A and B are shown apart, each in its own frame.
Chain A
């Protein structure tokens, strides 16, 4: 059996041309041959999803889905592959819940629909009543050993949760009261899913980042690993998607997206978006898609109930705000006659008339002396002096605290 360290190295190395699953299968066979680990019973729920993750998982299982099924996972309930339908299928789910409580894994694909009390998504029947995805997730997650959210929808809400979120779509972690391991992506890369499953099976929960994504696969940004990174450094930028050069200026979200697509690539390392000239759209990000739209612009559109905001509107707003501030100040200056006095009367000090009589001169002198005295009397005590005294007071206190015996004269 591989050590955990070796396994992590295997996952992160992603050799070109070979899928992770190809490596994992012999490892799993070896482990099962030694009878060290039993297959994990799995309940796979599809909620508000597009089945993209299931299709994606079918893509990489090499040689076949059969193998992953027979070697590591014991998928009891997944309506895309269950031969039984209707009540018979629901019975499998109920049996697994009862017999394998605390032992089975719950894998969720698709966001949880919460609008209309979850009734936008009903997934099976119990005692002739429709059961919503929301209720099912809450109930089943409480009994599961691990809860794994695959795909951006299950992990963070995903495309269905984009503004204005008509179905009240939410990520699984928002509705269950426990740790959810998130394997995002739209769809999730099959290696990310199978790697996480195998790590869970052999070594328990992998190291997670603050979005609960396995660091194995989501530890670095696409930008860091990108083949076009050098062109970014050299300042060679494409002016249209599909052009040569870094795609940063045509909307590539690689710098803000954590995933290892550039190394691992897609569909058996055939290709990946930036290699094909398509900017990364940040589909493994917790902010996909709202934080990533528009896909072909560098700065995002922010959807608010007042309308769509983007960088142009926001900067226009800031400029308008600045001009408005200066303008208002100017208007007030005019109204208050500050401008008037300043520009019409000039900035010269008013000329004072020389005293005409001796009495007047004495009076003026007296007034000046008075003003001087008044000024002197209100001069505040020197701040520096006060600060010094303050510091001395603290020093005394500190000294007393540090050497209490000195006080007693011992």
Chain B
């Protein structure tokens, strides 16, 4: 048996340490641990609740708008107000543009060099040798597409900035909508970029993923999980509040069940945190960091639903919406991500048509003195939730559970592995020194550890009052 450590795993957002045990050229055990802690939720305590959307999105530079949307949903519940129809559509348009950007960038910046030989210059060289299966001609073609892909991701961000003012870290999302106006010129500007992207995604992105999937067919089975999928749903529609992507839970590729938020708990047995009990509901989480905790190996907590670990993201959304039922491997993740990108372009086109030009994009509101709420939405990588409580006009409790927390969770009290740890088991390994296969599995999940690492709560001298 050989033990190997990969640290840092490159081409993921922020540091990740992976330890694997290899026996007979197969991975038999794995632990994944994030090694950065910032404690964002603590920072939220005592702030003006209206600032939650702008301040929490500083958690993440690649999926900033997801945090803003989630915080806005939580605030809508706490303030007991609804967004205006235009406001809701614009929030969805901003969010969709960010997801399109993320998916394109994920494939063309982070993932593609696992399958395509890059140019022989830093930072693309040195690279792990072996197992690049694309023929020279296809390889050249994809290298050209990489340059296009980066340009298109940039265009998606431009599209977002039309209504979001700037990105990364958009600045227009309020609780009831967005500050930017839905004027005809802006709508048509968004539309023109959207159509450009739609065409490109359909003809290039989907094609490139298909090419890679074709040459790496075995990766449809490598990196498979048990098929526990979670989705909070995303893009609530105005007035009805019905979500364009429906929420749901699937256990072991079984039936789709409705989601019950009260069944979510977070376990910290193998995380560098201290608490009196090992698992809590996020509305009550109360934890202090302790880097010297014995046996712990990650800053990520282990969220569980009914005590089970779940995977989120495009694959989970595709399974839960019934659009895809092929498998749960590496290529399944890449393929569903590209299909979702196209689908989002089409959805966004529909919302643009529903906008009423120059209609109100927000309504006035004042922050209440008391309130409580949670905002759940699927983000790029899976289910994102913000839980908050307002007391005396200030935020009194804030808890965030991010998608990567779900997928990259460490073991829990029962010793159950997290989804990625599970996916790594049984991976065939050719060269124990470069472990290119492990890298491919990890990147297919699109991890983001800037989001994942979080803690709660009020410091010890300000105990949380549980309502």
Residues of A bordering B, CB below 8 Å: 46-56, 58-66, 69-70, 74-90, 92, 113, 116, 119-125, 130, 158-160, 162-167, 169, 186-187, 240-242, 266-268, 270-273, 275-278, 281, 283, 289, 293-297, 301, 303, 307-308
Task: Give A160 to B454 CA distance when docked, in angstroms.
Answer: 12
Give chain B nearest CB distance to A353 CB in angstroms.
Answer: 69
A124-B7, A293-B48 known; A75-B168 Cβ under 8 A? no
Q: Is the interface of B mostly helix, strand, loop or mixed?
A: loop
B453 to chain A: closest CB distance in Å?
9
Say which one of B33-41, B210-218, B246-254, B306-314 lies at the interface with A: B33-41
- Given known pairs A186-B169, A276-B165, the reply for A89 and B10 (CB within 8 Å) is yes
- Asked if A76 meets B51 with Cβ closer than 8 Å, knowing A51-B61, A187-B168, A277-B180, the reply is no
CA distance A120 to B121 in the complex (A): 33
Query: Chain A residues near B48 (CB, 8 Å)?
Result: 293-297, 301
How far apart are the CA atoms of A242 and B35 in the complex, in Å?
Answer: 40
Of A66, A123, A296, which is within 8 A of B51 by CB? A296
Does B439 make an interface contact (CB < 8 A)?
yes
**Given the complex of chains A and B, what is the CA–CA distance between A122 and B126 in angstroms?**
23
Q: A49-B14, A78-B123, A80-B12 given; name 7 further pairs at CB < 8 Å.
A: A80-B109, A83-B124, A86-B5, A120-B289, A124-B7, A270-B162, A295-B54
Is the CB–CB distance between B14 and A51 below 8 Å?
A: yes
A56 interface neighbour in B39, B127, B168, Cβ under 8 Å: B168
User: When the two chains form their complex, are residues A266 and B166 in contact, meaning their CB atoms are under 8 A apart?
Assistant: yes
Let me know if A77 and B289 touch, CB within 8 A. Answer: no
Q: A-B pairs with the 10 shortest C-beta distances?
A: A52-B61, A166-B39, A242-B179, A266-B166, A277-B179, A294-B48, A276-B165, A86-B6, A267-B161, A50-B61
Nearest-Cβ distance from residue A122 to partner chain B, whole angstroms: 4
Q: Which of A49, A84, A162 contacts B450 (CB 8 A)?
A: A49
- Nearest CB in chain A: distance from B105 CB, A: 7
CA A296 to CA B12, docked complex, whole Å: 34
A64 with B150: CB separation less than 8 A = yes
Q: Is the CB of A166 within 8 A of B289?
A: yes
Rounded to whole angstroms, the CA-CA distance of A121 and B43 in the bound complex is: 18
Across the interface, which residues of B come within 8 angstroms of A82, CB to CB? 10-11, 123
CB-based nearest B residue for A160:
B38
The closest CB in chain B to the CB of A239 belongs to: B364
Whether A272 and B166, one on each chain, are in contact in the complex, defined by CB atoms closer than 8 angstroms, is yes
For the complex, is B359 an interface residue (Cβ under 8 Å from A)? no
CB atoms of A85 and B9 under 8 A apart: yes
CB-defined contacts of B26 to chain A, threshold 8 Å: none
Cα of A243 to Cα of B164 in the assembled complex, Å: 15
Q: 0/1 per residue, B176-215, Cβ < 8 Å to A?
A: 0011110000000100000000000000000000000000
- The answer to whether B165 and A275 touch across the interface, beta carbons within 8 angstroms, is yes
Q: Which residues of chain A come closer than 8 Å to B160, judged between CB atoms?
A: 267
Interchain nearest-CB distance for B289 vs A (Å)? 7
Q: Tell me whether A85 and B58 are in contact (CB under 8 A).
A: no
Task: Kindly report which residue of chain A lies nearest to residue B143, judged by CB atoms.
Answer: A66
Bits for B91-118, please: 1 = Cβ < 8 Å to A, else 0. 0000000000000010001100100001
List residues of chain B with CB within 8 A of the CB of A296: 48, 50-51
Asked whether A77 and B123 contact (CB < 8 A) given A88-B128, A159-B58, the answer is yes
Does A83 lie within 8 Å of B127, measured CB to CB? yes
Q: How far is the CB of B52 from chain A (nearest CB, A)?
A: 10
